[in-house]
Structure 1
Amino acid sequence: MTVSPMLTRLAAERATGALLRDHGTLYLAEGRVVHAESPAAPGLDVLLTAGGRLPREGWDEAVDRAGARQAVGRFLVESGRLGDGELEICHLEALFDAAFFALAPAAGPTRFRYGVSHWLGTVRPVSTEAVERETVRRRELLDGVWPYEAVDTAPVRPRTPAPGQTAGPRQRSLLAAADGARTPADIARLLGRPAFHTLLDVRRLAAAGLVETPLDPPPAAPPAVPAWAGEVTAEPDIALLRRLRDALEASP
């Protein structure tokens, strides 16, 4: 499935620059995606700092000292703040997370600015096919869990669980951060988690009746869960990204 015909064309051209869409930006180098940003997704800085892996001052120093030469990622490794593999996995996590939102159906114009590069620098280029394939997989996974997307942008309001009903550790920490005003995106930033996996947890909680839903859907049979949905673990982002990285390393 082609998510963005323009992205496919730019990959064929081996273009370098920034693809600007309604919900985010993808940065390309010679037709491969090297970074992605979206207002809906926490950036790499939030995943590292709010997640407790890197002090905020360590990130700020890297940007101050290496941002102008587009080598922030390399500085984090060379200064000993992150290991090479750790940076790759964290960056892939941020890239696929932001790309998921950036490649959402767009109502406005899509533009490409040739020659533009990102101050982070290149960490691990990813093919456009891999980005589109993962975007489609994530859309299908969300819809398979709870096909009502209004819950994605509404404030998360917990419901009293039924007797004997429990939530997993990740979901419990999400519910603890749900104050009736924070949206899933707000909670993702607060906890230093990818926005997509926060949405996935919120939809699972909605399906279980543990959070309020913006509009009650008409009664319907529970949606079928794809066979591969069972492969998602308590930390699906890390396991998936390690597999993606290994596949990239094995490709010519």
Structure 2
Amino acid sequence: MRPGPAPRLAELAAERASGALLCDAGTVYLADGKVVHAESPLAPGLEVLLITGGRLTADSWREAAGHPAAAGRVGRFLVDSGRLTDAELEICHLGALFDAAWFALGPGSGPRGFQRGAAHWLGPVRPVDPVALEREIRRRGELLDSLWPYPRVDTEPVVLRRPDGHLPPVTRRRRAVLALVDGVRTPVGIARALGRPAFHTLLDVRRLAAAGYVETPRAPRTPMPRAPEPGPAAVDFAEPDAPLLRRLRDALEAHL
């Protein structure tokens, strides 16, 4: 298996390098060894979060991003022109950075190269220590698995389950996610439609799967190349028996 991007990121941080670390699922930008931005086609960008969240209009964003004075420093221009406060920019930027970095540096992604000297058009906002970023990525992976340890839920279209009348109530936030479940949208597609960070939507979808509101995709069976040798019956662990796990969980909770 090809190693992930984390070792390469650590090397670049030690070198105090500046440039763009290209990964299979995104790009991480560094300046003097610190992470200054990240982007991924799987995560809504800063502009999506600001516009869909109602903080900026699409026209206001386009005007700022295309202004000659904003070249290479769009973030600073948004603040200097009164469109955002420093705090608003910093909070939204960090949310977008960590969201994109989860995909760029997380499971399934690998390094593709480093463009030395490349800079992001947003410009400096608040650098992030690479060690802290890697620690947060590990924490997020552990959190997802603790909620519902089936990563296929994150990437396949979300499909509603037939209600059985005994499901726990859901929060308003997750009701908004359920309203967009159509059997076509993936969690990332739902996040983009809602203007929310993609990782937060992954959490919501895993919680909904654990509660029984959406289907847990079943892993494809691996074809057997030949008949098994005589002996004890083999047990197939490839497919999650989601209904059984839910029944076990409900039974345990009923006795607590």
Distance 1:111 1:67 in 2: 31
Which structure 2 residues correspond to residues 57-76 of structure 1 after superposition, within 5 A? 57-66=59-68, 69-76=71-78
One-letter amino acid of the counterpart of residue 100, structure 2 = A
One-letter amino acid of the counterpart of residue 176, structure 1 = A
Distance 1:101 1:173 in 2: 23
Is 1:183 matched with 2:206?
no
Is 1:93 matched with 2:131?
no
Distance 2:42 2:129 in 1: 22
Distance 1:3 1:103 in 2: 6
Report if aligned partners of 1:66, 1:72 keep a CA contact under 8 Å in 2: no
Report if aligned partners of 1:15, 1:29 keep a CA contact under 8 Å in 2: yes
Report if aligned partners of 1:21, 1:106 keep a CA contact under 8 Å in 2: no
One-letter amino acid of the counterpart of residue 122, structure 1 = P
Distance 1:156 1:114 in 2: 39
Residue of structure 2 in register with 1:248 after alignment: none
Q: CA RMSD in A?
A: 1.8
Residue of structure 2 in register with 1:131 after alignment: 133
The alignment covers a number of residue pairs equal to 221
Q: Which has the higher contact order (CA 8 A, sep 6+)?
A: 1
Is 1:113 matched with 2:107?
no
One-letter amino acid of the counterpart of residue 24, structure 1 = G
Match of 2:213 among 210, 215, 237: 210
Match of 1:8 among 7, 10, 32: 10
Q: Are the structure 2 counterparts of residues 34 and 50 from structure 1 closer, same or farther at C-alpha, using a change threshold of 3 Å?
A: same
Residue of structure 2 in register with 1:192 after alignment: 195
Is 1:171 matched with 2:174?
yes
Query: TM-score if structure 2 supplies the norm length?
Result: 0.82
2:67 is paired with a residue whose SS is: helix
Gapped regions of structure 2 (runs ≥ 5):
219-238, 250-256
Query: TM-score if structure 1 supplies the norm length?
Result: 0.83
Distance 1:4 1:110 in 2: 12
Distance 1:6 1:113 in 2: 13
Report if aligned partners of 1:67, 1:119 keep a CA contact under 8 Å in 2: no
One-letter amino acid of the counterpart of residue 198, structure 2 = A
Distance 2:69 2:132 in 1: 27
Report if aligned partners of 1:66, 1:75 keep a CA contact under 8 Å in 2: no
Report if aligned partners of 1:3, 1:132 keep a CA contact under 8 Å in 2: no
Gapped regions of structure 1 (runs ≥ 5):
223-252
Distance 1:176 1:128 in 2: 37
Report if aligned partners of 2:25, 2:109 keep a CA contact under 8 Å in 1: no
Q: Are the structure 2 counterparts of residues 108 and 140 from structure 1 closer, same or farther at C-alpha, using a change threshold of 3 Å?
A: closer
Residue of structure 2 in register with 1:24 after alignment: 26
Cα distance, 1:164 vs structure 2: 5.3
Match of 1:152 among 151, 154, 162: 154
